[in-house]
A = this chain, B = another copy of it.
């Protein structure tokens, strides 16, 4: 992957995040790519699905496993607009994803370098991390959403 590919796929993830926002969900989008092809797409649906695990990354991983017919997502890259939380970082390890590209860092809950880096532990798989792709757009998605939410609550 070159930098332009990363920007292209992150823009697709941003579009998915916008779909979450339209449903009143915190706007986070994710997709999984293999050999330049999008294998799965998902966005945060925690409130709609009433499910603690319905994060964009986890849903994208599950959809990719189903599509590819196995639990090992070798050769896959996950794009996500926000740095993965510990649950999702653990799911990335468990699914053997090669690489994660995220947009905005999550200083409070990010497990790919902010709060901690899951790769710093000697697990049975580690993955490459590229952070800060389309960072400003990804940050704006979230800050606009929460600004709007506060306005509605007034």
Contact = CB atoms under 8 A, between A and B. Distances in A.
Contact of A123 (B55, B86, B95, B123): B86
A51 B93 CA distance: 13
- Copy tally for this chain in the complex stands at 2
Q: Which of A47, A70, A94, A108 has the largest number of chain B CB atoms within 10 A?
A: A94
Size bracket, chain A contacts: 35 or more
Q: Which of A71, A86, A116 has the largest number of chain B CB atoms within 10 A?
A: A86
Interface in A38-75: 46-47, 49-55, 58, 61-62, 65-66, 69-73
Interface of A: 46-47, 49-55, 58, 61-62, 65-66, 69-73, 85-91, 93-96, 108-109, 111, 115-116, 118, 121-124
